[in-house]
Amino acid sequence: MGNEDRDRVLMTDRREKLLIEGYNPSNNAERAAMSRLKNSSETALWELTKIAESPEVDHTDVFDPDQVFRFLRALLNPNLNEDHIDTDSPLLAEPGGGAVTEDDYSDEFRAYSDRLQMQMTKLILDEPDE
């Protein structure tokens, strides 16, 4: 069964539309919907982490390596997805500038990306978390 055929837990049609088409922060309803999506996403990530940490769950039955890779790639390079490269992303220092390079990201996002890469490197090298 493809992911498109599954019952959705987090991504409603309305939320998906906001992510695809963008939202207007001056529109109260859209701003509230985006805020709820962010809060729900934080909760979902916490819940997935608890599932992944449980010795009762067989990861091979739950976490497809290709989906996990896609998720991590999206965190490290959010403007590149299967459909398009978003040159208007708010994560860029100057949105709308054409082809996206690492230098185009905001300082805040680069710091986030560096921290995530550092954590992943510690995991790969089996170094303890501080």
Average pLDDT over residues 8-16: 87
Check pLDDT > 70 for residue 26.
yes
52-71: pLDDT as tens digits: 999 999 989 999 998 898 88
At 3 the pLDDT is: 56
Mention every residue, 6+ apart, whose C-beta is less than 8 A from residue 78: 86, 89, 91, 109
Q: What is the DSSP string of 22-44?
A: ---TTSHHHHHHHHHHHHHHHHH
Give the start-to-end residue ranges of the domains of the chain.
9-57, 64-130
pLDDT at 96: 53
30: exposed, middle or buried (Cβ count in 10 Å: 0-12, 13-18, 19+): middle
